[in-house]
Amino acid sequence: MTEPLEILTAALRESTEALAALEKDHARMIEASLDSNADDEHDPEGATIAFEREQLTAALHRTRAARERIVEAMAELAAGRYGVCASCGLPIAVERLQARPLATTCINCANLGRG
């Protein structure tokens, strides 16, 4: 059986790796655009460079926020509050935490729209 600490540690590792890859892609994109005089407003190939940069920036923000929530969940675990449904107070099934490490409600409360 997977323990909550293992679940959060794996989620933190995955999030950290994803964040590093996104930051590397973002840095490459910025570096490539410094010397470019591309007219991305009239690019016949589709999406503009600005659009792609905004998409990457949004992904960076989402990944940073998710990583921050994982760190907060680890603090909740240390305080004995991780894996407890915020709605009914019952334990959240390990299988649900494996699928959604940041879940704050049990599957029953989630199905009832309580969280």
For the stretch 3-18, pLDDT in tens is 999 999 999 999 999 9
Q: How confident is the model at residue 113 (pLDDT cuts 50, 70, 90)?
A: confident
**pTM for the model:** 0.76
Sign of CA dihedral 61, 67, 70, 74: negative
- Cα(19)–Cα(25) distance, integer angstroms: 10
Give the list of residues 6+ apart from residue 71 with CB closer than 8 angstroms, or none: 12
Residue with tokens 């905004």: 54
